[in-house]
Amino acid sequence: MKSPSQPRDRGIPEATVARLPLYLRALHGMAERGVATVSSEDLAVAAGVNSAKLRKDLSHLGSYGTRGVGYEVEYLVYQISRELGLTQDWAVAIVGVGNLGRALANYGGFASRGFRVAALLDADPEVVGDTIAGLNVEHIDELEAVIKRRGVSIVVLATPAEAAQEVCDRVIAVGVTSILNFAPVVLSVPDSVDVRKVDLSIELQILAFHEQRKAGGPLMAVDSQ
Amino acid sequence: MKSPSQPRDRGIPEATVARLPLYLRALHGMAERGVATVSSEDLAVAAGVNSAKLRKDLSHLGSYGTRGVGYEVEYLVYQISRELGLTQDWAVAIVGVGNLGRALANYGGFASRGFRVAALLDADPEVVGDTIAGLNVEHIDELEAVIKRRGVSIVVLATPAEAAQEVCDRVIAVGVTSILNFAPVVLSVPDSVDVRKVDLSIELQILAFHEQRKAGGPLMAVDSQ
DNA sequence: ATCCCTTTGTGAACCGATGCACAAAGTAAC
DNA sequence: GTTACTTTGTGCATCGGTTCACAAAGGGAT
Ligand SMILES: NC(=O)c1ccc[n+]([C@@H]2O[C@H](COP(=O)([O-])OP(=O)(O)OC[C@H]3O[C@@H](n4cnc5c(N)ncnc54)[C@H](O)[C@@H]3O)[C@@H](O)[C@H]2O)c1
Ligand SMILES: NC(=O)c1ccc[n+]([C@@H]2O[C@H](COP(=O)([O-])OP(=O)(O)OC[C@H]3O[C@@H](n4cnc5c(N)ncnc54)[C@H](O)[C@@H]3O)[C@@H](O)[C@H]2O)c1
């Protein structure tokens, strides 16, 4: 029971927060393989980042390493988990149980880290009542009631684009402040609400841009003029 | 047939490239609604960004606006499309036709912008031979042959994590240099290859982090020590 | 042709993130 | 205890990206 320094910096840089899950994943792998301690260099390689960056990231949580040795894997797993809020579990609702919503509902990796799919909702009477991954699909009219009853704090939007803003407004109205949006629309929300979007189509377009540069790169100058 | 300035900057900032698809989406919406020209201010609002940023982004492509007026919607759509490489069409292969791969294959939004799902591949004999979204699922042993035959230049990885690196190595070996990875692993690839990852679990963890701050923020100091 | 109004394109200040490089802090061996 | 070695934690220079704010450019009215 040592008492390590705990500078517990309020305000961890956003870029750091985005990498913590990566470190956590690498650390879990190491823990499984029985690794007890790890150096910033090794962990950095496993997570695919630069070791100085990794050390700076971790330094924002506190001074959890031992100079000359490295970081204790179990301990670091715990500290990062706590920082990310993974020591509690989070009830997630998936709204829109189509192609994508179904895949998400069936996905096991969800539950693994404190995220529990607590509700599935859809507007289509054909789908409502179905059981998917052990969960009953409920009607979108029940949205507010279900969110309150199950203590849902994170909503995953997998509806068509046209329905996304409306559902978004409704869940915010009942107090949800964290939304993961798969619909290809810019949601408009108050500042107090966090929206993260996953947009497959944008990712492909970015790849296409670079692919084009690689392929026709230098001779692209064949201008149509 | 005017001849606008064409500074055609080599080297568009990465952050700009990532936003171009957003502008393009907003512009398509406007074109559909019959809007002929748009100001940076209006387009910025539609895309959810700051107008100065939008103008600077567009300025990297060339001087396509008219002072006092704005941008011609159709013309801008064309310029951005061309810059992103969407004037040609791209053959995409999806490897791993499970929950997620199936959802992707069935997704219509794919084809809409020059991306064509040209092949589905899986290792499971149960799945191979199935027809999904009009496409025959082929065996992973055929990977190299299929990629060459269909001219696939972008590969979507939707296999389990354990298989991802191996499939990745194989597609790179046949010349693929653009990969969209859904598996929760850090792929190791040569610098010449672009990998973009979509990681649902990381997104949720980032949301949880902020949610925790919002909820228990100030009173979090209830340390377990 | 001149004036007024709108909106672009960009210089410059600012801000957060990255990565180098090293002093400080620890272990281990003798 | 001293020395040799390892690895963290961080100061600092640098970089890419954002935002402000305004001069330059164009349109339209008179
Ligand atoms: N499937 C993919 O691979 C993929 C990829 C990228 C983006 N997306 C986006 O994800 C979203 C879902 O895609 P999908 O392929 O699952 O579509 P889908 O049409 O298969 O499913 C949408 C589901 O939402 C339900 N729905 C419609 N309106 C609703 C409402 N108001 N409230 C609740 N549910 C409602 C429909 O009944 C349907 O079950 C779309 O916005 C799509 O653009 C999907
Ligand atoms: N389903 C989701 O919502 C979701 C969300 C986030 C991440 N992911 C990730 O996406 C990947 C796929 O998820 P899923 O839910 O579709 O899993 P899944 O198990 O349903 O599908 C995986 C498919 O890959 C095939 N496969 C296995 N080894 C292969 C190989 N060597 N070559 C080709 N195909 C092979 C399997 O036969 C199976 O059909 C996983 O890595 C998962 O972690 C999925």
At A143-200, the pLDDT tens digits run 999 999 999 999 999 999 999 999 999 999 999 999 999 999 999 999 999 999 999 9
B54 is in an annotated binding site: no
Whole-angstrom Cα distance, residue A152 to residue A150? 5
pLDDT band at B10 (very low <50, low <70, confident <90, very high): low
Is the pLDDT score of B87 beyond 90? yes
Q: In testing the pocket of ligand 1, which one of A94, A97, A99, A102 has its CB within 8 Å of the most ligand atoms?
A: A99
pLDDT given for residue A216 in this prediction = 74
| Residue B175 DSSP one-character state | T
* Residue bearing tokens 């653009």: B178
* Residue bearing tokens 């619909």: A183
DSSP string, A39-73: -HHHHHHHHTS-HHHHHHHHHTT---EETTTEEEH
Domains and CATH numbers, chain B: 14-83 (1.10.10.10), 90-198 (3.40.50.720)
Sign of the C-alpha dihedral, residues B133, B139, B141, B145? negative
* Residue bearing tokens 């792998």: A29
Host H or E run for residue B136 = strand B135-139
pLDDT given for residue B153 in this prediction = 97
pLDDT given for residue B2 in this prediction = 37
Least trusted range by pLDDT, from A18-22, A28-32, A111-115, B142-146: A111-115
**Residue of A85, A100, A209 with shortest CB distance to B208:** A85
Q: Could you tell me if the CB of B103 is within 6 A of ligand 1?
A: yes
B175 is in an annotated binding site: no
Q: What is the pLDDT of residues A71-92, one digit of tens each?
A: 999 999 999 999 999 999 999 9
Scanning every residue of chain A, which has its alpha carbon at the shortest distance from the alpha carbon of B117? A204
Sequence letter at residue B100: L
Other C-beta atoms within 10 Å of A161: how many?
A: 15
pLDDT given for residue A187 in this prediction = 97
Strands A135-139 and B115-122: unpaired
Q: In terms of Cα–Cα distance, which of A62, A78, A46 is closest to A12? A: A62
Give the pair of three-digit tokens for residue A16: 């750091």
Residue at minimum CA to C1' distance from nucleotide D16: B13
Nucleotide nearest to B69 (CA to C1'): C7
Say what angle helices B143-150 and B161-173 make with each other, to 10 degrees.
50
Scanning every residue of chain B, which has its alpha carbon at the shortest distance from the alpha carbon of A195? B207
Is the pLDDT score of A223 beyond 50? no
Is the pLDDT score of B28 beyond 70? yes
pLDDT band at B222 (very low <50, low <70, confident <90, very high): very low
Largest CA distance in chain B: 73
Half-sphere exposure of B3 toward its Cβ, with a 13 Å CA cutoff?
3
pLDDT given for residue A4 in this prediction = 45
Report helix, strand or coil for B169: helix
Is the pLDDT score of A9 beyond 80? no
Scanning every residue of chain A, which has its alpha carbon at the shortest distance from the alpha carbon of B184? A25
pLDDT band at B224 (very low <50, low <70, confident <90, very high): very low
Q: What residues does B195 pair with on adjacent strands?
A: B179
Q: What residues does B136 pair with on adjacent strands?
A: B131
Is the pLDDT score of B18 beyond 80? yes
Whole-angstrom Cα distance, residue B154 to residue A204? 8
- How many Å lie between the centroid of ligand 2 and the Cα of residue B158? 5
A209 to chain B: which residues are within 8 Å by CB?
17, 20, 83-85
- State mean pLDDT over A196-207: 97
Q: Is B51 exposed, middle or buried (0-12, 13-18, 19+ CB in 10 A)?
A: middle
pLDDT given for residue B165 in this prediction = 98
| Closest approach of A222 to chain B, Cα-based (Å) | 12
Whole-angstrom Cα distance, residue B193 to residue B186? 14
- State mean pLDDT over A53-60: 98
pLDDT given for residue A224 in this prediction = 38
Sequence letter at residue A50: N
Mean pLDDT of chain A: 92
Is the pLDDT score of A6 beyond 60? no
Q: How far is CA B106 from the centre of its chain?
A: 17
Tell which phi-psi region holds residue B112, choosing left (phi > 0), alpha (psi between -120 and 50) or beta: alpha
pLDDT band at B85 (very low <50, low <70, confident <90, very high): very high
pLDDT band at B216 (very low <50, low <70, confident <90, very high): confident
pLDDT band at B217 (very low <50, low <70, confident <90, very high): low
pLDDT given for residue B154 in this prediction = 98
Is the pLDDT score of B197 beyond 50? yes
Is the pLDDT score of B41 beyond 60? yes
pLDDT given for residue A49 in this prediction = 97
Give the pair of three-digit tokens for residue B3: 């001849």
What CA–CA distances, in Å, run from B103 to A100, A104, A108, B189? 5, 10, 16, 26
Least trusted range by pLDDT, from A61-75, A211-225, B133-147: A211-225
Contacts of B159 (CB under 8 A, 6+ apart): B95, B96, B98, B123, B167, B183
Annotated binding site of A: 96-101
Give the pair of three-digit tokens for residue A72: 């204790």
B117 is in an annotated binding site: no
**Residue of B90, B109, B203 with shortest CB distance to A208:** B90
Share of chain B above pLDDT 70, in %: 92
Sheet with B135-139, strands from edge to edge, namely B131-132, B135-139, B115-122, B90-95, B154-157, B178-181, B194-197
Is the pLDDT score of A17 beyond 90? yes
What CA–CA distances, in Å, run from B58 to A216, B16, B149? 22, 8, 37
Share of chain A above pLDDT 90, in %: 87
